[in-house]
Amino acid sequence: MKTDHQIRLTEAISSISPGTWDSVSGQSACLSHAFLSALEDSGSAVSSTGWTPRHLGLWSGNTLQAALPMYEKHHSYGEYVFDWAWADAFARHGLDYYPKLLSAVPFTPVPGARLLGNNPQARIQLLDAVLQIAKDAGHSSLHILFPGEAEAEWMRERGMLVRTGVQFHWLNHDYRDFDDFLSALNHDKRKKIRQERKRVSAHGLTCEWLDGASAQASDWRFFYRCYATTYALHRSTPYLTADFFPMLAERAPDKVRLLLARRGNEPVAASFFLCDDEALYGRYWGASEHLPLLHFELCYYQAIDYCIRNGISRFEGGAQGEHKMARGLEPVVTRSAHWIRDERFRDAVDRFLAREREGVGFYLDELTERSPFRQDTTASSNTNARLRGRS
């Protein structure tokens, strides 16, 4: 590493100015200083919840050249790349899996750059540095979740084990309107969506999109009740505190979208999204009462329509969910990279991942056969080409 560069670990992102951090994070809604600082300042991603910030920076004097959002983790909740079985295997052999080092956006399975910066060489230097830190500090492992494809290759070249997965994204193939999008689907899927939207319209609801500046405190209180209810229905506890959402809305109003469904003046359901120049990201939803099919309307159809009307190229519907294909979302390959100190476990995980990759390949072939798009459409051709190039 060049001697004029310095590696610094930061235990709170607030110690770096927003302008400095965002000079390397770009326009990403999920990697912005506003988003990461709201996670920390709201008490959502902090040491007491098992997320100890250990953000890494490559500095040249007072200039940040590259950065890596990173945490020391004491569990595997909120990651969406599941390594619980690895932790159990460590425990059965009397070894400690935690704490581990993790580079990820807490609670947010959005693929994209993790080595932030404008200079590829600086980003690679930072990758070499974090691998050395993991080795020197004695951590059991280092995990980098949902990196970009080129980054994943850098990690593979340095001996990290690359894992593949599948998400479902909607891609805007220059649709003129929602009906134009529907016309790209096969007859059965097109008919089903129209039927679902017709049934939802019978509830007599109106939908309104708000950004962070227009959403009021009462809107956030209602949304959080819905958000907490969704977790309660799944016998789980919300990861994010009630302070997080209005805090983020204040710090990054242009990155926040809140979709409210009302009956008259009374809200009955809400969905929370993030938005940047690249995509709309569906994150959370909830309702104060059960209304059939409303989930699909607020989480998918309204989002797709919003992207078409606003010229947004991609809608990411979150982790997993094969049912999303029936709503016009397409399978995409995701990646994660893993360094494991213990050679025995590293070899075992390597063999496991090889089998898993083969299974993911078969799964993608199956999904291609079940594409909701007509075979003569651009969407169908692009999906097939993209999946043929998977790694």
Contact yes or no for 230/285 (Cβ under 8 A): yes
pLDDT of residue 383: 54
CA–CA separation, 210 and 219 (whole Å): 10
Who's near 379: CB < 8 A, 6+ residues apart?
Answer: 171, 173, 184, 330, 373
**pTM, full prediction:** 0.94
pLDDT of residue 1: 44
CA–CA separation, 208 and 216 (whole Å): 13
DSSP conformation letters of 59-74: EETTEEEEEE--EEES
Q: Which residue, chain included where needed, has tokens 């594409």?
A: 371
pLDDT of residue 390: 54
Bridge partners, 285 (sequence order): 271
Cα–Cα separations (whole angstroms), residue 212 to 228, 283, 368: 20, 15, 38
CB neighbours of residue 370 within 10 Å? 10
Closest CA to 302 of 210, 214, 220, 370: 210
Q: What is the pLDDT averaged over residues 335-350?
A: 98
What's the angle, vertex CA 98, arms to CA 227 and CA 42, rounded to 5?
A: 35
Q: Above pLDDT 90, what percent of the chain?
A: 92
pLDDT of residue 389 exceeding 60, the answer is: no
Q: What is the pLDDT averaged over residues 18-38?
A: 97
Contact yes or no for 100/142 (Cβ under 8 A): yes
pLDDT of residue 380: 54
Q: Which fold would CATH assign to domain 169-329? A: Aminopeptidase (3.40.630)
195-221 pLDDT tens trace: 999 999 999 999 999 999 999 999 999
How far separated are the first and last CA of the chain, in Å rounded?
30
DSSP conformation letters of 130-177: HHHHHHHHT-SEEEEES--HHHHHHHHHTTPEEEEEEEEEEE--S-SS
Mean pLDDT of the chain: 95
CATH superfamily of 6-167+331-388: Gcn5-related N-acetyltransferase (GNAT) (3.40.630.30)
257-286 pLDDT tens trace: 999 999 999 999 999 999 999 999 999 999
pLDDT of residue 310 exceeding 50, the answer is: yes
pLDDT of residue 378 exceeding 70, the answer is: no
* 175-179, 357-361, 381-385: the lowest-pLDDT one: 381-385
10 Å CB burial of residue 341 (0-12, 13-18, 19+) is: middle
Cite the residue boundaries of each domain of the chain with CATH code 3.40.630.30.
6-167+331-388, 169-329
Q: Which residue, chain included where needed, has tokens 């898993």?
A: 356
pLDDT of residue 387 exceeding 80, the answer is: no
133-149 pLDDT tens trace: 999 999 999 999 999 99
Contact yes or no for 300/289 (Cβ under 8 A): no
pLDDT of residue 385 exceeding 50, the answer is: no
Q: How many CA atoms lie within 13 A of 210 on its CB side?
A: 22
Q: What is the pLDDT averaged over residues 38-43?
A: 99
